[in-house]
Amino acid sequence: MNTKHMVAHIALGANLSSRFGVPFATLRQALRLMACQTIKVKAVSRFFTTPCFPPGAGPDYVNACAMLHVTDTPDALLARLHAIEEACGRERRDRWGARTADLDLLAIGDIVLPDAQTHADWVALSPAAQRTQTPDRLVLPHPRLQDRAFVLVPLADIAPDWRHPVLGRTVSEMVAALPAAERAAPRPIDPPPTG
């Protein structure tokens, strides 16, 4: 698969401090660690504070999205993101638990992985199953992308016209389809905290 000069979108989140400081500082460091020969950070959204998901699982999150130009394969890019999470102190214990860094690969261009049927199966997964099941391979676009205001609202800052290759809707359209209370939940951090 040729990913030369492909545009990738990622979501960033943290709700625990790390060796780099408060969540905002950790995510800024994660963005610095991303820049390498095969990854160029082209745009970063505003940073938002968002209620913890699922409710009660920990402190509120700091969330953002970034647009990357990549020459890595999708699996190599995912491995790089996982290595950055680890460098930021991420420990994978509880699904949807509190974390120092969460870097989710949302999409690479209009690539659908591993295939349309597998993607559809993961999109249709029940909420109960989402809490316990994780894919054994990369699924793109991220199967929960269209459901989450804490992803879509920051993503709309940098890619409002990106069109989901399966759903056919733009980011702006997906944001508009969310309930009003969910759209309002992510609040911009202004000015950004120091630390």
Beta pairing class for 39-44 and 102-108: unpaired
**Secondary structure (3-state) at 128:** helix
Instruction: List per-block mean pLDDT (blocks of 10 residues) for the chain, which spans 195 residues.
Output: 78 93 94 91 95 78 96 93 90 65 94 93 83 83 94 97 96 97 92 52
What's the confidence (pLDDT) of residue 195? 45
What's the confidence (pLDDT) of residue 190? 67
Which residues make Cβ contacts (< 8 Å) with residue 27, sequence separation at least 6?
Answer: 12, 13, 14, 47, 62, 64, 101
Cβ(101)–Cβ(32) below 8 Å: no
Which residues make Cβ contacts (< 8 Å) with residue 38, sequence separation at least 6?
Answer: 70, 71, 72, 76, 77, 80
Helix (H) or strand (E) holding 7, with range, is: strand 6-14
Cβ(10)–Cβ(101) below 8 Å: no
Tokens of 155: 């993503």
Vertex 100: Cα angle to 31 and 63 (nearest 5): 60
Closest CA to 102 of 150, 167, 135, 70: 150
What's the confidence (pLDDT) of residue 97? 59
Q: Where are the domains of the chain?
A: 6-188
User: Residue 184, class by beta-carbon neighbours within 10 Å (0-12 exposed, 13-18 middle, 19+ buried)?
Assistant: exposed
**Cis peptide bond N-terminal to 114, omega within 30:** yes
- pTM higher than the cut 0.85: yes
CATH number assigned to the domain covering 6-188: 3.30.70.560
Residue 146 DSSP code: G
